[in-house]
Structure 1
Amino acid sequence: MGAISPGAAPMWVLMIPGYVPVDVPLWWLHEVMDVERMLRQQRRMLWATAVCFAVGLLAGTVALWGGTRPFSGDGSVLMPIAVVAGIIAAAAFAVSTRMHRAGETAPMPTWQAVVSDVSTVAVALALVGVAGLGVLLAGEVLATGLQGLQLPAIGGGLLAGVASALGGRFAFRTGIRLSTRDVASLLFSFLVIGTLFAVLTATDTTWWDRSFSQLGIGAGGWAFNGTVIIAGLLIATTGSYVGRDLHRMLGDAALRGIAVVVVAWSGAGLALAAVGLLPLDQVPVPHAIAAFATLGLIVAAAIATTVLMGELRMLRALTVVLAVLIAVAVVLAFVLRMLSVAALEAVVVGLVLLWLSTLVQLLGILAPDESRPSSRRSPLRA
């Protein structure tokens, strides 16, 4: 009986040991290998989810041991659960990175390996924030319908297990093949989750009439300030990964230009972090300087990135539109007084995120997936 041709054989037949189809094209073999790789990754993610649930259940039960606690309010179960979920998410990311990308920095020069390692640590810290704030935001939303609910230690432990499983699975998947798109998505998710939580817990319900910085004032200001600080860290990290992709595309010849891009994004991230570290009610002038520096450095970073990718007309046009619309919004807010500062901030953040999402999509298409160690001992020397 002759061998079945590849086009006629169902997938289960192709998996039979010893079965060798005739005239197998190379693309078909690559496709089968990709399927096997993706199935293996799915199995690992399922195991990671199960382990995170079990560890979260145990850790949550231990952390909440000693009697019943309210679901929300003073002494609630939410903060311990958020801490447990955040730590487990970071651990899942570390394990996944070790399993799937071990040795990635070995052939790199010291400066390139340091940038890569620092960026990985920054992503781990951001995952802690996303998982923790995600738990607090979900609890804040559910609290309106669960008023008076009391949970024993095992009940809180089950919630911690579920939260840890969700956060751990996301973190494990992120560590498999960390891309610029993943980092940018993490930034978007964190900004949305953190800002919504800050809005829901704001003591000043008229903050929207002035600026988002009003959310960082008072006892509950930690949520907004913490969100801004970690978002700044993520912006700097996104810039590092943008630089990585540009290097994979352009090579060592473009290192000086890439260094400018990375420094500009890092400066924007540090300036945004300073906005959270310098609350408006305590140091208004430095707070305002940091806010305007963030805006200026983001525009500079966008322009520097566009210059390096100058052959892409789409990106050039989008960058021009970004700069023009931001300038118009600033004039409407500060010259014509037609926009509040809060509205200006919302417009600027929306425009920047739109531009950044387009950039990372383009890099995902154009940049090679393979790591590219530099042959230079310094990014600024030929």
Structure 2
Amino acid sequence: MADLNRPAAVTSEARALYIGSGAFIVLGAAAFLLVGREPVPLSGRGSAGEISALGTAVLGAVAVVAGSLQHRPPAAPEVRRVGRIRNAIDIAALALAHACTFLVGWLALFAIFQQAFMGAVLYPVAAAVLVGTTGAISAYIAYLSALSMTAYRLAALLAVFLVSGMLASMLTAQDPLWWQEHLSALGASSDISGVAFNGTLIVAGVMITTLAGYATSALRATAENQSALRRAWWLEGAIALLGVFLAGVGLFPVDENFWIHTLFASGMAIAFGLLAARIRDLVPSISVTFGVLGWVFLTVIAAAAVLWFPVGYYNLTAVELIAASLIFSWLIVLIRNLAAVDADQYDGTLYDVEQEGASLYAGEQQDAVLYGAAASQDADSYEPAQQDTASYDPGLYDAEKEDTALYDAYRQDAGLRGGEPNGTARKDTSLYEAYRQHADQQDADLLARPRPQPGDSMDPPPATAADRTVSGP
């Protein structure tokens, strides 16, 4: 369980630094052992650039796997619920994409360095430090990229990977006039150019299938009915189909399997056309502008095809470059628009929750007002009772109790003296009269006595002679 007292972002950065430091040590030590005692060039066969490119590809892939296994879904509703097999394919695609990007990127960068520093060589220690630094940077970036991977970032990674892979294939082509035939001629050779071209298409196809899951997960999660859920599944299937067709183009080079290669290329164009034409039906909440953009791209591709055949204005390579550029540009923009739709839905959900919380708070405030009114009414009823209690005189109560005791004593005495065995005798009322006189006198004394004040002595007054006389037997 994560430490709740430590922010998650700080923990992620700390882990990324650990991974980067480990990559620096591993790749630096490997470079020091591989270089030996002789100086090496920046670029070329057996160079520091080659060691760096291969090492960062491996370490970057490992860092992506580590980050993907620790990936936590963000607050937005892009929570993906997929099976283990699909999840493993997605992680493998991300790792492969990062590895290929690092491979091509560092090769190109070291080639530029070699052109900038003509004739420069690196000694073993300097080569180990430089190569280790590239490993640390790559592992650090790859770990954080996988840890917070979203549709936005995956679309950006796809664009960078496609551009870098295609440029690497074009720059390393042995035939400088390859463009006079068609774009697929880059993959017809068995050299590094063909491997880069076909490998880029295969990995990009797998990345697109991964993008399909990322881009439509929120649409599936927020579907309000079966119709919306079916539209989300259709959209995911169409995007994934584009990735399958693209990977098929790379798996079957044109010089070895012409008809299969052509079938996959044509299928990708048809799938794009259907998806661009029906995108507003599949995602009604997407902008009208994006829907119009799809029709514009389709019109441009059709016009380019007509200019190639039958007009013959330019060759097939130009049509393929135009079509590929527009298709991948539209796909990347589609991913970003779907992510924008998800963000709007998430903001709307947050607004509804806040409104509900505000309603509950208003209800609680109303209850508090009603409670305060009831408490005030109770306080108003309590004040007269307090006034009655304040006007209570303990002396009068004690006098009443004493009168009652005297009367009870008289009644008891009269009952003992009043009966004769042979008839009713006249009762003696002298004792009763004495008791009555004593009670009247005591009442008068109580009425004439001043009301006690706080701090006055509570001791009873001394008995008078009359009191001692009456209280005798």
Tell me which interval the TM-score lies in, with the shorter structure as reference length: 0.7 to 0.9
Summarize the Cα distance change of 1:64–1:276 in structure 2 as closer, same or farther, 3 Å threshold.
Answer: farther
2:165 corresponding residue in structure 1: 194
Summarize the Cα distance change of 1:339–1:38 in structure 2 as closer, same or farther, 3 Å threshold.
Answer: farther
Q: For the Cα contact (< 8 Å) 2:57–2:98, is it kept in 1?
A: yes
2:46 to 52, 64, 75: 75
| Match status 1:353 vs 2:328 | yes
1:299 corresponding residue in structure 2: 273
Q: TM-score, normalised by structure 1?
A: 0.76
List aligned pairs for 1:231-246, cutoff 5 A: 231-246=204-219
2:235 corresponding residue in structure 1: 261
| Match status 1:326 vs 2:301 | yes
**C-alpha displacement of 1:270:** 2.1
Query: Tell me, what secondary structure is at the counterpart of 1:74?
Result: coil
Summarize the Cα distance change of 1:142–1:213 in structure 2 as closer, same or farther, 3 Å threshold.
Answer: farther
Post-superposition Cα deviations, 1:320-351, rounded to whole Å, max 9, x if no partner, equal 22222222222222332223222222222322
Query: Tell me, what secondary structure is at the counterpart of 1:365?
Result: helix
Q: Compare relative contact order (CA 8 Å, sep 6+) and give the higher one, 1 or 2.
A: 1
| Match status 1:86 vs 2:50 | no
Q: TM-score, normalised by structure 2?
A: 0.63
2:311 to 336, 340, 346: 336
Q: For the Cα contact (< 8 Å) 1:306–1:319, is it kept in 2?
A: no
Q: For the Cα contact (< 8 Å) 2:64–2:143, is it kept in 1?
A: yes
Q: Distance in 2 between matches of 1:212 and 1:309?
A: 33
Q: For the Cα contact (< 8 Å) 2:43–2:107, is it kept in 1?
A: no
List aligned pairs for 1:192-231, cutoff 5 A: 192-218=163-189, 219-220=191-192, 221-231=194-204
**C-alpha displacement of 1:303:** 4.2
1:317 corresponding residue in structure 2: 292
Q: Where do 5+ consecutive residues of structure 2 fail to align?
A: 347-473
| Match status 1:154 vs 2:128 | no
| Match status 1:184 vs 2:155 | yes
| Match status 1:119 vs 2:90 | yes
- 1:174 maps to amino acid: S
Q: Which moved more, 1:153-162 or 1:37-46?
A: 37-46
Q: Distance in 2 between matches of 1:304 and 1:86?
A: 39
1:376 corresponding residue in structure 2: none
**C-alpha displacement of 1:172:** 1.7
- 1:366 maps to amino acid: V
**C-alpha displacement of 1:256:** 3.0
1:7 corresponding residue in structure 2: none
**C-alpha displacement of 1:43:** 4.7
List aligned pairs for 1:2-21, cutoff 5 A: none
| Match status 1:171 vs 2:138 | no
**C-alpha displacement of 1:179:** 0.8
Q: For the Cα contact (< 8 Å) 2:180–2:315, is it kept in 1?
A: yes
1:132 corresponding residue in structure 2: 103
Q: Distance in 1 between matches of 2:9 and 2:339?
A: 19
- 2:250 maps to amino acid: G
Query: Tell me, what secondary structure is at the counterpart of 1:202?
Result: coil
Query: Over aligned residue pairs, what C-alpha RMSD do you find?
Result: 3.1
1:52 to 7, 16, 23: 23
- 2:248 maps to amino acid: A
Query: Tell me, what secondary structure is at the counterpart of 2:266?
Result: helix
**C-alpha displacement of 1:192:** 1.0
- 1:120 maps to amino acid: I
Q: Where do 5+ consecutive residues of structure 1 fail to align?
A: 1-32, 371-382
Q: Distance in 2 between matches of 1:161 and 1:42?
A: 19
Summarize the Cα distance change of 1:145–1:114 in structure 2 as closer, same or farther, 3 Å threshold.
Answer: same
Summarize the Cα distance change of 1:42–1:339 in structure 2 as closer, same or farther, 3 Å threshold.
Answer: farther
1:143 corresponding residue in structure 2: 114
**C-alpha displacement of 1:84:** 0.9
Q: For the Cα contact (< 8 Å) 1:115–1:240, is it kept in 2?
A: no
Summarize the Cα distance change of 1:152–1:37 in structure 2 as closer, same or farther, 3 Å threshold.
Answer: same
Query: Tell me, what secondary structure is at the counterpart of 1:336?
Result: coil
- 1:262 maps to amino acid: E
Query: Tell me, what secondary structure is at the counterpart of 1:328?
Result: helix
Summarize the Cα distance change of 1:46–1:310 in structure 2 as closer, same or farther, 3 Å threshold.
Answer: same
**C-alpha displacement of 1:180:** 0.9
- 1:99 maps to amino acid: Q
Post-superposition Cα deviations, 1:138-165, rounded to whole Å, max 9, x if no partner, equal 2333333445444344333333222222
Q: Which moved more, 1:149-158 or 1:191-200?
A: 149-158
Report the number of matched residues. 333
